[in-house]
């Protein structure tokens, strides 16, 4: 695992390309090119202009989201997120593609080292993208007042981080076309077959316990590099059961989040957040609360909280898919008649309260026998509940004939034997 850290640190060295002088355009691949980018000059007057109203204006950097998206503060004080026009770098946030993280690091390196910014919109006034949130724009920057401004959009294409999407009517079309042709000729990054040190098709097999403990150790973490702190961590595979499912957003723009858990070697439960993408993604029809899966995804730091974004695509399909595989149905079973989920008969891991018919306590192990329904209209089924490490001060008469609410783990697929972590987690109704 220590190799991961070395690779991450190696990225910093690789991305120290920012500020290196441009190389001649020969057939030898270099780290950084800007000969074509330097041919294009910022000709629009930006002094005392407002980006939104006038289509051009100065700004200060707030944050970098990925290779082609960043947030700035305008001179008016308004905050705007800019979707770089005429480029489309590989994904590095909710889904991860080859060269996506490297493109994001390149953009972050350029922008955080720059001293001045000018934002230019392809329209006047400025317009937003199809989502109505991000403004489309060209990002011009320079590192000192003695330098000329350079367009980052064009520089991304020249260095092979994106193809050009500029149309022939675009006033900068010839520059973008030349930059794309140059990058294709040399086979740079997205146009070639070189290895991307920040991308792998082979996840590291680990456990949820190891992930949680590792990222808590900021000084020695191998799953997330706090020195780079770019929001993207290691590519991992781990087994976990789904504890709950929530959605965020508004109709038409819903994102899915899951709480997943696993019992560690120390007997404790470890939990994490799983990002399931947009509401329309098929994966959200496949992931069920209570089921146990093998998940594959990238560890991410998003809005100051860690999560795992599944695989290299938002769409993880069926059992045996590269990014998710169902290991067991009804692994984590909940008994709770008051839960809204209980009315959903499709959620087979959700049962009614358990009505106790017998209780035994021997050598610190409590065995509870009782009945519960799999759905409000279903027949009652008999279950055996096992609770270990029960103290001698527990009175089994407190449970006899009562109804109980709790969550436990099904020992084997199809079994009605459920283990519960502790007696304190059982609620007597």
What percentage of the chain has pLDDT greater than the value 70? 89
Q: Which of 30-39, 99-108, 256-265, 342-351 has the lowest mean pLDDT?
A: 342-351
Task: Spell out a b/e string for 347-379, using b for 16 or more CB atoms within 10 Å of the CB, else e.
Answer: bebbbbbbbbeebebeeeebbbebbbbbbeeee
Joined tokens for residue 263: 């019992």
> Pairing relation of β-strands 417-420 and 380-387?
parallel
The beta-strand segments (E) located in 221-364 are: 232-250, 253-263, 269-278, 292-302, 305-310, 324-328, 332-335, 350-351, 354-362
For the chain, the structural domain boundaries read 2-191, 204-328, 334-428
Confidence band, pLDDT 50/70/90 cuts, at residue 261: very high
For residues 356-381, average pLDDT: 95
Residue 10's pLDDT band (boundaries 50, 70, 90)? Answer: very low
Mean pLDDT of 33-61: 97
Decide: 77 and 208 in contact? Cβ < 8 Å: no
Give the model's pLDDT for residue 322. 64
Q: Residue for token digits 């209980």?
A: 342
Residue 53 pLDDT class (50, 70, 90 cuts):
very high
CB 420 within 8 A of CB 426: yes
The answer to whether residue 339 scores a pLDDT higher than 60 is yes
Residue 216 has pLDDT above 60, yes or no: yes
Closest alpha carbon to 417 in 329, 331, 294, 292: 331
Instruction: Report how far Cα 288 is from the mean position of its chain's Cα atoms.
Output: 19
Contact 348, 416 (CB under 8 A): no
Mean of all residue pLDDT scores within the chain: 88
Does pLDDT of 388 surpass 50?
A: yes
Q: Give the pLDDT confidence of 346-367 residue by residue, as tens digits.
A: 788 999 999 999 999 999 999 9
**pLDDT at 8 (0 to 100):** 38
Least confident of 79-93, 105-119, 297-311, 394-408: 297-311
Task: Using the predicted structure, report yes or no on whether residue 1 has a pLDDT greater than 60.
Answer: no
Among 275-279, 306-310, 394-398, name the one with the lowest average pLDDT: 275-279
Report d(CA 404, CA 337) in Å as an integer: 10
Listed in sequence order, the residues at least 6 apart from 118 whose beta carbon sits closer than 8 Å to its beta carbon are 42, 46, 56, 57, 58, 59, 140, 141, 149
pLDDT, residue 252, reads: 66
The third-level CATH classification (topology) of the domain covering 204-328 is OB fold (Dihydrolipoamide Acetyltransferase, E2P) (2.40.50)
pLDDT attached to residue 146: 96
What topology does CATH give the domain 334-428? OB fold (Dihydrolipoamide Acetyltransferase, E2P) (2.40.50)
CB count, 10 Å around CB of 114?
Answer: 20
Distance in angstroms between the alpha carbons of the first and the last residue of the chain: 48
Residue 59 · residue 73 · CB < 8 Å: yes
Token pair 């781990």: residue: 238
Question: What's the rounded Cα separation, in Å, for the pair 230 and 307?
Answer: 14
Dihedral sign, CA of 27, 181, 144, 112? negative
Least confident of 120-129, 302-311, 315-324: 315-324
Number of H helices, E strands in the chain: 8, 21
Could you give the angle at the alpha carbon of 270 between the alpha carbons of 329 and 219, nearest 5°? 140
- Residue 286, pLDDT > 90, answer no
pLDDT digits (tens, 9 = 90+) for 148-199: 999 999 999 999 999 999 999 999 999 999 999 999 999 999 999 999 988 8
The pLDDT tens digits of the residues spanning 97-109 come to 899 989 999 999 9
pLDDT digits (tens, 9 = 90+) for 58-82: 999 999 989 999 999 999 999 999 9
Rounded CA gap, 88 and 67, in Å? 8
Tell me what percent of the residues of the chain surpass a pLDDT of 90.
Answer: 66
Indicate the pairing of strand 204-205 with strand 232-250.
parallel
Domain 2-191 has CATH 1.10.240.10: no
pTM: 0.72
The pLDDT value recorded for residue 70 is 97
């Amino acid at each position: 695992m220590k190799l991961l850290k070395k690779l991450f640190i190696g990225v910093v060295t690789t991305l120290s390309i920012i500020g290196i002088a441009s190389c001649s355009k020969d057939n030898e691949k270099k780290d950084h090119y800007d000969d074509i980018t330097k041919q294009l000059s910022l000709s629009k007057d930006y002094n005392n202009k407002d980006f939104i109203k006038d289509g051009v204006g100065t700004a200060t950097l707030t944050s970098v989201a990925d290779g082609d998206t960043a947030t700035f503060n305008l001179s008016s004080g308004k905050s705007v997120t800019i979707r770089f026009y005429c480029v489309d770098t590989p994904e590095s946030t909710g889904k991860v593609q080859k060269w996506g993280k490297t493109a994001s690091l390149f953009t972050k390196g350029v922008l955080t080292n720059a001293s001045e910014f000018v934002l230019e919109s392809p329209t006047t006034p400025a317009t937003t993208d199809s989502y109505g949130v991000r403004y489309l724009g060209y990002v011009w920057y320079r590192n000192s007042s003695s330098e000329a401004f350079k367009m980052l959009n064009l520089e991304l294409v020249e260095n092979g981080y994106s193809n050009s999407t500029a149309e022939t009517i675009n006033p900068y079309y010839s520059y973008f076309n030349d930059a794309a042709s140059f990058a294709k000729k040399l086979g740079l990054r997205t146009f070639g077959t070189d290895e991307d040190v920040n991308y792998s098709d082979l996840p590291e097999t680990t456990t949820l316990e190891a992930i949680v403990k590792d990222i808590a150790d900021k000084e020695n973490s191998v799953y997330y590099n706090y020195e780079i702190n770019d929001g993207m961590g290691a590519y991992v595979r781990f087994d976990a059961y789904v504890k709950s499912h929530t959605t965020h957003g508004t109709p038409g723009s819903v994102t899915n989040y899951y709480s997943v858990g696993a019992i560690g070697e120390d007997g404790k439960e470890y939990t994490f957040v799983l990002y399931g993408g947009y509401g329309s993604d098929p994966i959200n029809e496949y992931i069920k609360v209570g089921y146990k899966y093998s998940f594959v995804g990238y560890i991410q730091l998003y809005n100051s909280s860690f999560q795992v974004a599944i695989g290299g695509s938002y769409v993880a399909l069926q059992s045996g898919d590269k990014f998710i595989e169902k290991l067991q149905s009804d692994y984590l079973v909940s008994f709770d008649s008051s839960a809204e989920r209980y009315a959903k008969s499709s959620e087979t891991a959700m049962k009614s309260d358990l009505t106790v018919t017998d209780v035994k306590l021997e050598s610190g192990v409590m065995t509870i026998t009782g009945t519960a329904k799999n759905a409000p209209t279903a027949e009652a089924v008999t279950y055996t509940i096992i609770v270990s490490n029960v103290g001698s001060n527990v009175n089994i008469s407190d449970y006899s004939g009562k109804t109980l609410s709790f969550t436990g783990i099904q020992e084997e697929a199809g079994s009605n034997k459920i283990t519960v972590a502790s007696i304190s987690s059982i609620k007597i109704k």
